[in-house]
Structure 1
Amino acid sequence: MNTAVSRSGRQRPGIIRLLIRLMLLAGIIGMIGILAAAGSAYLLQPPPIHVDQSTVVYGADQSVIGEHHNGKQRYWVNLEDISPHLVQASVAVEDDEFYEHNGFDLTRIVSAAAVNIRTFSKAQGGSTITQQYARNLFLSHDKTWARKLEEAFYALRLETHYEKKDILEGYLNTIYFGHGAYGIEAAARLYFDTSAEDLSLAQASLLAGLPKGPSYYSPFSHPDRAHERQKLVLSAMEQTGVITAEEKENAENAPLSLEPPGQLSDDRVGPYFQDHVQSLVEQKYDIDPKLVEQGGLRIHTTLDPELQKTAEKWFRNEIPKDSELQGALVAMDPETGNVLAMVGGKNYEESTFNRAADAARAPGSALKPFLYYAALEDGFTPLTSFRSEPSEFTVGSQGRTYAPGNYGEIYANDFIPMYEALAVSDNIYAVKTHMSLGPETLVSTLKEAGITSDLSPIPSLALGTQNVKPLQLTSAYLPFANGGKKAEPRLIKKITDAEGNVLVENEPETTQIFDPQKTYVVTDMMKGVFDVSMDAYTSVTGHSVAHLFNRPLAGKSGSTNHDSWMAGFSPGLAAGVWIGYDDNRKMNHAEEGQISKRIWAQFMEEGLEDELKMDFPSPEEIVKTPIDPETGLLASEECGTSRTIAFEKGTEPQRSCTEELENRQNANPEDHPNEKEEQPPGQQEKLWDRLKRWMQP
């Protein structure tokens, strides 16, 4: 046994020597490879620049709706003719070791590799200015290891053949600054109508931040993001010692007189839609913006050019030209989630900010359909009644009161059913329902529908006091139009490269989130918004536009002091419209409050003019029952006019209104409370118990 141990001990030095020899051999091979690469870089001249190709954007009908024409705005300026502020800002934020390294910054590479390993991605590149310039020349922007090796070899060749000033000059003249501007001279002219030589510190620091994300940080479309990025650039400049703290502060607060974005107007169909498509290409699918501009991509979208023209026409017709009012519209296919039209503002030449995708505004009563869907899940029916009257609610342990009011302070001062409350947009009914369910219920329902905004379970959420975006709200309405199925918004069907290789391919994504019967009941109640024959205590909210269309439509308006909304759908088309002021000033609802409704109604009517006038398909477990509006019981000729209402089978009334008439004739009124106070079996006690609990301190 001792002999065996001794022999094993004598074998270890042999294994160690073998490992050392292998390591030495690997080192020699690696050194030979490095020398070979360096020798090749020295002997080879820089290869020719890749020939640019236009990227083409197609609509749903395969027509060309836009084209990126090889970066038309191009100029070349010598480094000496570029503002020192811009040179310093670019080096500080992109590659502060530029003048020290030989094309590679090992610290940045190791840091980026650590992030990539931790996140299981290749999101962090660690590229130096030389590597970025190499990438611009190669026009290969896929984040693969093979491309990284090519980029590294090309960077080595650049560093071998050119001085630092030449590399920096080439970089600043080829980098993409957004909106078709390549190089700093084009960017200076585009954004500030000045030359690269005359850029101030404030202007230079803003422009130096754009290459990180040209569409994301666009000062035309996202001024707040651009300013935050500018502050980061200035901080980097201060840290590297090229500016003082005082200069940094002055530049951060200096006014930036941007040129109006009218020069961006071109022959694109749906420019706001296409801007959002480009944003998705860059941010969601991680495709380099330079590849989009010059790489010969083919982007197939869901845009319907004719619907887009219809949407823009009604914006022009309905929003006064001399008004500062702004607006947004999103139109979608309820079945697939395809975005068919998008208007992000009344005039792209005046403002490129896409309000449809990026403006978060309070939707007001446009959230009520989700509240009433949640109520149906909790046992309510279209006939469940609450009293419409001025009311105060005690909320929380501090005894605070919340006193919502109806528009114009008009109340029924009586019990009203859910279908009427939705049609006239009664706020008291909505808050009572909301408090009865528990405010968390509406938050949960909205999240299920796809609203990603940060929502709080507060009493006023029932009245839409928290912000959502038009694209989100329109998308959230889709389950009411397609049997409870949520359809993810889809703008891009497919992206291929110049060789026809598929880079991105999207199929419609749908998920059953709501009950088909209950969504149909809500849809049926939403049709009542336009039913001017409804015998309600006040006008239905869609009465002013009901004459503008001649087909079954369901919808809901919403308003706050600062916003006006209209959203709704047919079986084949959904649309949402927002109108308001960018600076959040109060609207004159008497004159401006109907604009969103008129745009929506006329867009829907014209957009569907070639389609059959189809009603919403009814699920099997739905019964449509004539109801006596006075008693809420089954209708009869003896009781007068009736209204047909959709119910889930088994929840419709069982008694006839004639029984109530007989009871009233044979007894004193005091012995029989108003029939409108009746709830479905067990419901009245359940509702009032909850209300009392929520109203207690």
Structure 2
Amino acid sequence: MKSKENTAAGRSEQNKKKKKKSTYSLFALAVIKTVVIIFISIGCTFAGILGGACLGYIKSADAITPDQLELTKLTSFIYDKDGAELTQIKGSENRVLVVHSEIPDNLRNAFIAIEDKNFYNHGGVDSKRFIKAAISYIIHFGDASFGGSTITQQLVKNITGNQDSTIKRKVQEAWQAMQLERNLSKDQILDNYMNRITTGSGCYGVQAAARKFFNKDVKDLSLAECASIAGVTKSPGYYDPTLSEGNKKNNKERQETILQAMLDQGKITQNEYNEAIGEELKIYKKDTDENVSSSNVQSYFVDYVLTQVQKDLMEKYNISGDAANIKIYNGGLKIYTTQDTKIQKVMNEEFTNIENFPANAKISNPDMQAQGAMLILDPYTGQIRGMYGAYGAKKGNFTLNRATSMKRQPGSSFKPIAVYGPAIDLGLITPATVVDDVPIYLDPQHPTTPYPKNSESTFKGLSTIRTGIKSSINVVAAKVFMDYLGADKSIEYLKKANIDRSKEGYVSMALGGLNEGVNPLLMSAAYVPFVNDGVYLEPISYTKVTDESGNVILDKTQAQQKNIVYKETTAFLMTSMMRDVVTAGTAASNGLGTVKNSAGKVIPTAGKTGTTNDNYDKWFVGFSPYYVGASWYGYNNPKSLKSSEYYQALKMWNKVMNRIHSDLEVKDFKQPDGIVKKSICIYSGKLPGKYCSQDPRGNAIRTEYFAKGTEPTDTCDVHVLAKVDTTSKDIYGRPLLATQYCPESAVQEKVFIQRPVPYLPKDTSLVSKILDWMYELPQGEYCTKHNASNVVGPPAGSVSTGSSEASHGNQGGTGIDSPLPPLQDDNGSDVIP
């Protein structure tokens, strides 16, 4: 019984335990169900909230527009006349657009392998990478980087510039990426991405990177170089190989990682991998001697080109200067200049050589140093081949360029374009026209003081125009201007050469004394017609400008101004006379007007010197059949030059021109049809007479060029044969005409000159300065010494002209290079004499 009771009791206890356990289980289950329900409810709520938020984020996101896809802030390029790159013009970013066909497959594959291996298989978002990134974000409470961006998403980030590490940005970025995938091809997305990525130090896009790292175009990159560039974008400050040796090592390690990924993904073969791994990366270091600018300082030529492109963009497209500059500095333009880099290099070297500016040897202050400037033009195209705007190395951008922007008096270098060229062209004078170089008085404020004066304070008397140009005689230029040409015609011709002097017109203008000065650019261009058959060509510094797509937006050669200034015969005659300047005139000193090639053969040249009042400025504008060059020498604050500096402008011209002609063949100036030669008397400008060869100074007969129809037909009446009494003198020491009472021993038959227009000196003290005065026949003055019976009369046939015709001819004169300042009234304003 007891055992039965114990058994029953045990069972009862077990039952109690089972019931208790079942109760706990049911409670636990209930709790779990409750928790699950709560979590599901919370999850659903959270999912609903998150889904609603995502929907809101998407609705508030802006789709990427076509305008946003367009690349801006592109680097512009400047090239020389042969297409070689001179420099790059960058705004805030260095970015060079590269088209799809120029991007090698290896570069595409390198980026895809390391950045987005499923690029061609997703629709903008890689779901697996995106989920992993999201979980990482939640686990790390928003502190972890996503790390799941596709190339398309990275492109969106580059376009929008949104770098926020938030769910909102990531959701919007994913949606925008999917929208891009619907509207663009994979190639378009990848190309845009590769043109936008940053590669460090303000460098953007793969083309700029290829140039920066390897000095190559992207199309020429090797596999190893492609992988190197693809590795930089992760962290340019760490992987840019140009920054340091440490960075170079980091870049190499990253490159090998990319190459391994390309191999693993089947984008390259084992052999290609091995070759790329073994290739030494030759990181480019810019050489300061290269043509491409290696610093932020632009050349004078580039400065000038940029100002011209800006001006032309403003005019053609009616935009502001700021808008034009944005186009230049951010538009990816290609500017094709006219610079001949060989010529420019010569000029750079000569103008930075202290030996050419000895006055600066002991002067360190640039404001006190002697300065110089020069410009070289191709006379047949008007294209500027080289320029330099100051002494010494250029130290800043858009500093004063004296070759194109200064305004200084040109002195006698102005005479050919303001006086002689126009007068020859109008048929008012010929090279043989004679002008009397004697004291004249053209200053109304000082009517008793000769003006203009010649530099040596002497007067040559009867002189041809050729002599007037050769010896740079101020009186001859002034007389031609006043008596033949006139101010209006002078101004008219200057305008044809793009020099506006409509507010001037004084005699001082004829001598280069201007209210507003000129520069080598204006002067060289004004001399172009003398070489180019009389045709003026606007000087241009570039030929065309294209946009980032290669479309021509400026064509300077089509818009270039062209004017016929002179007849072809005029151009030839002026050139002929200015050749005398360099062979026997003011530019002949020490052969400085002569140009030779490397074989020592002389290349014909012509030109004109210029000196301003008190020797403040020295000029030489000279030309060959190849180039026109204008050079200037002086000081910022004008001061009288030392005698040792008088030929510095000519010396600089000579040095530059000799070097740029070293490889050129001898070529003469072209003689056009319509030119004839005649023998003339250089003191009458007429056909030689009986006594011209017997002039007391030597044979006066020369061969001269004329435009057909302007050659002389009259015979010289300046030279006369007369009997004089050598013992009887006038007040100037000249022998008087003999009379019938003069003893035979005192009578001598000599050749004299007689002025067609007698000169009556206002100041007899100046007569001794007229160099031909001693050779003039004292007309009407007879011997007063031998007249004992007081019967005075001319012996029959005492004077003979040797000519059957009488002619008055024109006046003439000669002198030395010495331009004068403008005449001024008491208020300092120029006045017309």
Separation (CA, whole Å) in 2 of partners of 1:392 and 1:445: 26
The yes-or-no answer on 1:334 pairing with 2:388 is no
**8 Å contact kept, 1:478–1:574:** yes
- Corresponding position: 1:646 with 2:705: yes
| Structure 1 residue 586: Cα displacement | 1.3
In 2 relative to 1, CA 543–498 (structure 1 residues): closer, same or farther, beyond 3 Å? Answer: same
Number of the residue aligned with 1:488: 538
How does 1:331-410 map onto structure 2 within 5 Å?
331-350=376-395, 352-370=399-417, 371-376=419-424, 377-395=426-444, 403-410=451-458
Q: Which segment drifts farther, 456-465 or 546-555?
A: 546-555
Residues 447 and 327 from structure 1, CA distance in 2 versus in 1: closer, same or farther, beyond 3 angstroms? same
Task: Give 1:306's aligned amino acid.
Answer: K
User: 2:661 is aligned with what amino acid?
Assistant: L
1:591 to 634, 644, 658: 644
**Conserved? CA contact 1:587–1:593, under 8 Å:** no
For these two proteins, the number of residue pairs brought into alignment is 455
Q: What is the CA deviation profile of residues 640-672 of structure 1, one whole-angstrom value per residue up to 9, with x for unaligned ones?
A: 475432211233344677x987x6279999799
Match among 452, 460, 464 for residue 512 of structure 2: 464
| Structure-1 separation of matches of 2:832 and 2:336 | 57
1:664 equivalent in alignment to 2:721: yes
Deviations 1:5-50, CA, capped at 9 Å, x for gaps: xxxxxxxxxxxxxxxxxxxxxxxxxxxxxxxxxx999752895894
Alignment CA distance shift 1:542-1:443 (3 Å)? farther
- Runs of 4+ displaced beyond 6 Å: 39-42, 398-402, 665-673, 678-682
1:542, 1:557 within 8 Å by CA — same for their partners in 2?
Answer: no
Q: CA deviation at 1:496?
A: 0.7
Q: Which range is displaced more, 647-656 or 438-447?
A: 647-656
2:299 to 246, 258, 271: 271
Amino acid at match of 1:288: A
Partner Cα distance (1:506, 1:633) in 2:
48
Structure 1: how far apart are the matches of 2:77 and 2:416? 40
Deviations 1:275-323 (A, max 9, x none): 0111112222226223322322110011111111122233234223435
- Deviations along 1:627-652, whole A, 9 cap, x unmatched? 45466455799664754322112333
- 1:315 is aligned to 2:348: no
Is residue 559 of structure 2 the alignment partner of residue 433 of structure 1? no
Alpha-carbon distance between aligned partners in 2 of 1:269 and 1:338, rounded to the nearest angstrom: 23
Equivalent pair of 2:684/2:809 in contact (CA under 8 Å): no
Partner of 1:574: 628
Q: Quick one: which amino acid aligns to residue 588 of structure 2?
A: G
- Larger helix proportion of the pair: 1
1:197-276 pair list within 5 angstroms: 266=294, 271-276=299-304
Cα 1:58–1:676 change in 2 (3 A) is farther
Change (3 A) 1:48 1:374: closer
Normalising to structure 2: TM-score of the pair? 0.49
Task: Say if 2:375 and 2:630, in contact at 8 Å, map to a contact too.
Answer: yes
Structure 2 CA distance, aligned partners of 1:573 and 1:385?
32
- 2:495 is paired with a residue whose SS is helix
- What is the one-letter code of the residue matched to 2:453? G
8 Å CA contact retained: 1:628, 1:643: yes
1:405 match: secondary structure: coil
1: distance between equivalents of 2:378 and 2:297?
19
Q: Which residue of 2 aligns with 1:151?
A: none
Match of 2:327 in 1: 291
Q: Which amino acid aligns with 1:525?
A: M
Displacement after TM superposition at 1:598 (Å): 1.0
Q: Could you tell me whether the CA contact under 8 Å between 1:65 and 1:269 is conserved in 2?
A: no
User: What is the letter of the counterpart of residue 618 of structure 1?
Assistant: Q
Q: Which residue of structure 2 lines up, in the alignment, with residue 684 of structure 1?
A: 810
Q: Deviations over 1:570-616 (max 9, x none)?
A: 22211111111122x21315122211111112222222222222221
Provide the rounded CA distance (Å) in 2 between the counterparts of 1:41 and 1:458: 77
1:565 counterpart (616, 619, 626): 619
Are the aligned partners of 1:554 and 1:568 in contact in 2 as well (CA < 8 Å)? yes
- Aligned in 2, Cα 1:443/1:60: closer, same or farther, shift over 3 Å? same
- Following the alignment from structure 1 to structure 2, what is the Cα–Cα distance between the partners of residues 678 and 40? 101
Q: Aligned pair in 2 of structure 1 residues 270, 643: CA closer, same or farther (>3 Å)?
A: farther
User: Could you tell me which amino acid in structure 2 is paired with residue 578 of structure 1?
Assistant: W
Q: Secondary structure of 1:580's partner? A: strand
Match of 1:664, SS state, is strand
Paired residues of 1:336 and 1:510 also in contact (CA < 8 A) = no
Query: Which amino acid in 2 is paired with 1:333?
Result: D
**When the two structures are superposed, what TM-score results if normalisation uses the length of structure 1?**
0.58
Distance 1:381 1:360 in 2: 32
Instruction: Provide the C-alpha distance between the structure 1 equivalents of 2:510 and 2:492, rounded to a whole number of angstroms.
Output: 13
Q: Which residue of 2 aligns with 1:68?
A: 89
In structure 1, what is the Cα distance between the partners aligned to 2:60 and 2:459?
Answer: 86
Which position in structure 2 is the counterpart of 1:229?
A: none
Contact 2:595 2:604 (8 Å CA) reproduced: no
What amino acid does structure 2 have at the position aligned with 1:543? S
| Cα drift, residue 521 of structure 1 | 1.1
Q: Give the Cα–Cα distance (whole angstroms) in 1 for the partners of residues 712 and 59 of structure 2.
A: 86
**Cα gap change, 1:49/1:593 in structure 2, threshold over 3 Å: closer, same or farther?**
same
Change in Cα spacing, 1:363 to 1:502, as seen in structure 2 (3 Å) is same
- In the alignment, the residues of structure 1 paired with residue 311 and residue 575 of structure 2 have an alpha-carbon distance, to the nearest angstrom, of 36
Query: In structure 1, the residue corresponding to 2:543 is in which secondary structure?
Result: strand
Deviation string 1:224-275 (CA, Å, 9 cap, x unpaired) is xxxxxxxxxxxxxxxxxxxxxxxxxxxxxxxxxxxxxxxx984599711110
Q: Which residue of 1 aligns with 2:74?
A: 53
Would the aligned equivalents of 2:579 and 2:606 in 1 still touch at CA under 8 Å? yes
Q: Which one has the largest radius of gyration?
A: 2
Partner of 2:110: none
Residues 645 and 605 (structure 1), Cα distance of their counterparts in 2 relative to 1, 3 Å cut: farther
**Is 1:615 aligned with 2:615?**
no
Query: Using a 3 Å threshold, how does the CA distance of structure 1 residues 402 and 469 change in structure 2: closer, same or farther?
Result: farther
Identical-pair percentage: 28
Contact 1:272 1:348 in 2 (8 A): no
Which stretch of structure 1 is more off in the superposition, 304-313 or 380-389? 380-389
Say whether the 8 Å CA contact 1:270–1:342 is kept in structure 2.
Answer: no
1:684 counterpart SS class? coil
List alignment gaps of at least 5 residues for structure 2: 1-56, 96-158, 161-201, 203-291, 315-322, 364-368, 597-601, 726-735, 738-749, 759-805, 814-830
C-alpha spacing 1:629/1:338, structure 2 compared with 1 (3 Å): same
Say if 2:433 and 2:812, in contact at 8 Å, map to a contact too: no
Which amino acid in the other structure matches residue 564 of structure 1?
Answer: K
2:753 aligned residue: 674
Deviation track 1:459-517 (CA, whole Å, cap 9, x = no partner) reads 21111111122211111111111111011111111111111111111225433221221
Letter in 1 for 2:656: F
Is 1:445 the counterpart of 2:493? The answer is: yes
Partner-residue secondary structure (3-state), 1:473: helix
SS in 2 for 1:330: strand
Do the aligned partners of 2:442 and 2:450 also contact (CA within 8 Å) in 1?
Answer: yes
Shift in alpha-carbon separation, 1:458–1:642, aligned structure 2, 3 A: same
Q: What residue is the counterpart of 1:530 in the other structure? A: 582
